[in-house]
């Protein structure tokens, strides 16, 4: 089956339902925690992140001969796991896992299932550099490989192959142009797109604050081309914007598409979130205002996130600014 045409997971499939290797000793508590998180209004992506943290800690305990049951675990187990992540993965990954486990042990303590062994434990120091931006030649390679081809004589218009190309080209154009999050992209519906005004309405944002995101002419044209072919899809009656072979694309489906397209284009693997850093970099490089970028990206003005995303390729922007200004050239 062609990985470019389908999402790897169906839209209704939650992370907790995809896992097949959850330790049976931990599974009942894990399921109860998921119900509490859902009742508390946590987003599916947040719940997925929390579960990934708990599951990775459980697997590490299994492989290193540590206790698996929370009632038997100690603070030293968590500290060594976080230290292992910093050494073997990154401080960023360690920070994400720390936050997941912090919520897990707090819940266990509140429910009187186990002691909160992380009480008073410090968050790991983050010292990693921001992810690299995507090089222009790699962006062009992705766009070229997905650019809809003229159909051959006798070939049916809007074939599955042609529809996938139109969809993936539009997805890439939207990611490059807006830098929206993977979950925001996957959650878009047909009514969220207004090509007359050239805007997309993001309703399911990570911050739970909706916003309008403008589209450039090329991105709007790519989305329009996809929408013209979309009615031929067998799931065209669905309200979701992006469709795969088995139905609406999920965030995981978007990730798999980008991964497969990178292989097809012969470029290094690109993470979907790198488009967000790249869009921020290109905006600032072109002289765009930081407050406008924060509004489009969905950050609170003055947020530290702006500085973090703007740090990618900041030296390149400084060199470009110097070339434009050249203080000594006026003397």
- Mean pLDDT over the full length of the chain: 84
Higher-confidence position of 93 and 186 = 186
CATH number of this structure's domain 15-110: 1.10.150.130
Q: Using CA of residue 197, residue 169, residue 274, residue 315, what is the dihedral sign?
A: negative
pLDDT at site 187: 92
pLDDT at site 174: 96
pLDDT at site 110: 96
Would you state the structure tokens that stand for residue 331, as one six-digit string? Answer: 């003397």
pLDDT at site 153: 64
pLDDT at 210 over 50: yes
HEC-encoded secondary structure of the chain: CCCCCCCCCCCCCCHHHHCCCCCCCCHHHHHHHHHHHHHCCCCHHHHHHHHHHHHHHHHHHHHCCCCCCHHHCCHHHHHHHHHHHHHHCCHHHHHHHHHHHHHHHHHHHHCCCCCCCCCCCCCCCCCCCCCCCCCHHHHHHHHHHHCCCCCCCCCCCCCHHHHHHHHHHHHHHHHHHHCCCHHHHHCCEHHHEECCCCEEEECCCCCCCCEEEECCHHHHHHHHHHHHHHHHCCCCCCCECCEECCEECCHHHHHHHHHHHHHHHCCCCCCCCHHHHHHHHHHHHCCCCHHHHHHHHCCCCCCHHHHHHHCCCHHHHHHHHHHHHCHHHHC
Higher-confidence position of 73 and 316 = 73
Domains 15-110 and 136-320 agree in fold: no
Q: How confident is the model at residue 123 (pLDDT cuts 50, 70, 90)?
A: confident
pLDDT at site 283: 86
pLDDT at site 92: 80
Query: Residue range 235-239: average pLDDT?
Result: 95
Instruction: Give the relative orientation of helices 27-39 and 44-63 as an angle to the nearest 10 degrees.
Output: 160
pLDDT at site 203: 86
pLDDT at site 168: 97
pLDDT at 188 over 90: yes
Query: Residue range 191-199: average pLDDT?
Result: 95
pLDDT at 43 over 90: no
Query: Residue range 257-281: average pLDDT?
Result: 93
> Which residue matches tokens 């390729």?
313
Say which CATH topology domain 136-320 has.
hpI Integrase; Chain A (1.10.443)
pLDDT at 226 over 80: yes
pLDDT at 309 over 70: no
The per-residue pLDDT for range 140-176, each reduced to its tens digit, is: 999 999 998 776 666 655 566 789 999 999 999 999 9
What contacts 266, CB < 8 A, 6 or more positions away?
141
| pTM, to two decimals | 0.65
Domains in the chain: boundaries: 15-110, 136-320
């Amino acid at each position: 089956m062609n990985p470019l045409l389908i999402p790897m997971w169906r839209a209704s499939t939650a992370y907790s339902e995809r896992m097949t290797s959850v330790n049976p000793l931990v599974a009942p508590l894990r399921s109860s925690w998921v119900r509490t998180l859902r009742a508390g209004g946590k987003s599916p992506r947040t719940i997925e992140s929390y579960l990934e943290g708990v599951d990775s800690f459980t697997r590490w305990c299994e492989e290193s001969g540590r206790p698996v049951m929370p009632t038997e675990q100690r603070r030293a187990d968590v500290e060594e796991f976080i230290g292992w992540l910093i050494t073997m993965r990154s401080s960023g990954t360690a920070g994400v896992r720390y936050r997941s486990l912090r919520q897990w042990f707090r819940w266990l303590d509140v429910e009187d299932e186990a002691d909160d062994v992380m009480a008073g434990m410090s968050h790991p120091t983050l010292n990693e550099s921001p992810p690299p931006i995507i090089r222009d030649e790699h962006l062009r390679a992705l766009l070229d490989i997905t650019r809809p081809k003229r159909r051959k004589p006798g070939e049916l218009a809007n074939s599955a192959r042609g529809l996938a190309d139109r969809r993936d080209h539009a997805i890439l154009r939207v990611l490059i142009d807006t830098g929206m999050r993977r979950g925001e992209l996957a959650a878009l519906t047909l009514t969220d797109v207004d090509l007359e005004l050239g805007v997309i309405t993001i309703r399911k944002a990570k911050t739970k604050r909706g916003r309008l995101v403008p589209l450039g002419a090329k991105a709007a044209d790519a989305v329009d081309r996809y929408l013209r072919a979309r009615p031929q899809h067998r799931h065209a009656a669905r309200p979701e914007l992006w469709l795969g072979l088995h139905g609406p694309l999920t965030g995981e489906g978007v990730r798999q598409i980008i991964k497969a397209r990178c292989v097809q284009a012969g470029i290094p693997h690109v993470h979907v979130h790198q488009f967000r850093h790249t869009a921020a970099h290109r905006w600032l490089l072109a002289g765009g205002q930081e407050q406008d970028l924060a509004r489009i990206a969905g950050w609170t003005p003055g947020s530290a996130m702006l500085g973090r995303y703007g740090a990618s390729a900041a030296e390149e922007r400084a060199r470009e600014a110097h070339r434009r200004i050249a203080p000594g050239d006026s003397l």
